[in-house]
Structure 1
Amino acid sequence: MQFIDQAQIEVFAGDGGDGMAAFRREKYVPAGGPSGGNGGRGGSVILVADENLQTLLDFRYAHKFKAEPGKRGGSSNKTGANGSDRVIEVPCGTVITDVETGELLGDLVTPGQTLYVARGGKGGLGNRCFLSNHNRAPEHALPGLPGEHRVIKLELKLLAEVGIIGLPNAGKSTLISALSAARPKVADYPFTTLVPNLGVVRKPSGDGTVFADIPGLIEGAHAGAGLGHEFLRHIERTRLLLHLVDLTAADPVGDFRTIQAELQAYGHGLSDRPQVIALSKIDVLGLSSDDPVDDTVQDIIQQLQPHSIAPVQLISSGTRAGLDTLMEHVWQQLAALPAEPPAIPPPILAQTASEFHIPV
């Protein structure tokens, strides 16, 4: 499946139905009076979070969504039928923004959560509503009000508790494939991974925790270099960052600082997010997670340790060396962290259908 995490669509709520100007004309009913009914309410456009969707691919081919207009009022005081709402399913984690105003309309994170992005127009009043002591035979009715029209931007931010970060070819995809059932493409060249990969890692208790492999972070990622500019948003919701540093690189500490600088430049509190640091690919150097390390490796660990909330680990995803110890530290840190990442603003304007009411 092609991974699409941004889309722009146009939504049109239904117009309200026109009111009717009519008079009651029946045998044996002299001066029946006005009997024009009100128009029906136009349908609204509603976004609903669906946990079965993982991408915004559907919106690459469909850009305009319209709700049904309300029906015109009828004679004999009959109110026109309301227009049907247009329900659009989006993945959990979708942020909705008004393109013209830049206003954040909502953030759908919970399955079944709904957001009304365009409200249907109110139906017009029929001439019966204008009956008064001063006007016993009103001959006018009101047209229905137009429905709202908006151009909105959909932006998907993956819902994962742990984000795996690091320079290209640091072993992120190999790690997530070793920990979960995810099977991303793995190769020995940079930028093998072109889209974020999600994997569910089981805790010892049996509960599942979602890990996200974030691709393409290089120097200048915050400004659009590589792929990081496109996918840094996906670690905004994570509670913990698992930072992989390639121990076989020419300058592992410099690589770590490069990623830290990109997180700082991107903002959104990413540079302050708690991190667990692991030195990967120890099997290439012939090391084991239990072996004593030489002075060079020990110096790298000492420089990185102040930035990690757990002891820096030596791991090999290929041989699974050190992974059990690494995951023990990850579970301990997740249990100690707040349930929600503090950098994510609370959802706004997201309403359930029962909370939303438009008078007719």
Structure 2
Amino acid sequence: MGQGHIHHARDGGSNGVVPPTAAGFAPRPGGVPSKPSEQPSGVLARPEAELRRESNGRESWVFRAADPSELLGVHAEQVGRALQPGEALRFLLYSPMWEGHGGPFGIGAPPASHAVAVTERRFVISRDTHIDGEPPDLVSIPFSTVLWIESGGAAMFAWLVIRYVEAGAVRSVTVLYRALGQHHFAAAVRAYRWAAFPELCHSRTGAPPWPAVWRRIGERQREDVEPLLVEAEQPLAAAAWPALAGWNRKHGLNNPGCIAPAGALLVSTRGVLTVGDEPPTRIGGIKFGVNTVAVPFDTLRAVTFKDKTTSGPCVVSLRLRAGRDAVTSSIEVLFPGESLPEVEAALGARREHPAVREIAWSS
């Protein structure tokens, strides 16, 4: 299993192993016109070398842009050419590079500056590593291909991960950025969830209000997940659990460790969200990272539970399988066995709604 409590298993369907790409950027991104539909003018007509000289990708801030021409470096040209006539922007931002290569939860990518555009139907993401001889690139991700997104942070940096299906395989794009810009990325996620997550469920009688949900989960977890919620999104059910400490084969009898980090499962009118802490390196140790995964209802294919206890306290694995057509991938969440009834009940709230396609369910 990878680092952290969320593990992405590339199994089932026809995807096999995710093909290696440079931070998930395919050499020929689908959906992007190879030629501009109009004669470029202004910043779009300037040479790439000139645009790259204007920005080394190491600015101190993430900022929102109203138009591609406000982006820095090559991103103005790349995004401007990729947008089709009449394609409306819901959100657009520029993010300078984060000098690190990765962090907790197995998340990583080469340092690069990015522009992230959210339109009515797709993500358009431009990337520049600012390395001589390595040209900038761009990927287009239609919302209809997205399996789930991840958003989180750890101390000074944060991330956005988009996992999607292309050419019969599961691929991903990872953007690492300075944590001070997390509110801009949260706004981009909200724009995507509003446009792409159909509100197939309506709030039910007896569902907890958001204040009751927030009282049950950790403050740091709330800070990470609450900004991702769209207007009028309502909770259907929630489950939360504390970190589980114990002995297992990895830690040894004389060195107890965290075998299931603190986390929560939220089922809302727009999908399923899991949020969890980075496991501390030792009991009572400092933990910095929190990661949230947002899964739309229409991608869920199966929910399974499995006993993952090796020795010591009981640990249960929740596996959420998401898919598009025949291609699937899984999210695994570990939690204490004593929380199993609460987690099953929370996911049961999702099963009670006939408007949502029934999914396979096993224990």
- Normalised by the size of structure 1, how large is the TM-score? 0.26
